[in-house]
Amino acid sequence: QVQLVESGGGLVQAGGSLRLSCAASGRIFSLISMGWYRQAPGKQRERVADITRAGNTNYSDSVKGRFTIFRVNAENTVYLQMNSLKPEDTAVYYCNTDLRGLTYWGQGTQVTVSS
């Protein structure tokens, strides 16, 4: 079992930056891929970025070049550095992983970008 706890959300003006953190419990963090998703009001949850245990990354087209996902295995933490934020980035952001056929989600952290 894995527990995920996000932090770092908040209110920021357009063009600003935020760094989200997701701390994972357990000793297997270095062996699992991690992802960030977001859900805006009235919209479906969408994948933002993911990182494999080897450190390979993928991004959605909407955030490519602005967001960076990285992990620090010694801290059991995955981060999402968000730069050049836009109002359309406003959403609840969740981290995610799949382990042994089960999908785990954190509680989410709110990001609000004002214009």
Asked if the model's pLDDT at residue 33 lies above 90, the reply is yes
Neighbours of 74 (CB within 10 A): 8
- Alpha helix segments (H runs only) across 1-115: none
Q: In whole angstroms, what is the distance from residue 66 CA to residue 54 CA?
A: 22
Percent share of the chain, pLDDT over 90: 90
User: Which residues, listed in sequence order, are joined to residue 36 by a DSSP beta bridge?
Assistant: 49, 95
Q: How far apart are CA 107 and CA 97, in angstroms?
A: 13
Residue 21: per-residue pLDDT: 98
* pLDDT value of position 81: 98
In what helix (H) or strand (E) does residue 112 lie, and over which residues does it extend? strand 109-114
Tokens of 98: 């799949």
Which pLDDT band, with edges at 50, 70 and 90, does 30 fall under? confident
Q: Give the model confidence (pLDDT) of 43-85 as tens digits.
A: 999 999 999 999 999 999 999 999 999 999 999 999 999 999 9
Largest CA distance in the chain: 42
Asked if pLDDT for residue 3 goes beyond 90, the answer is yes
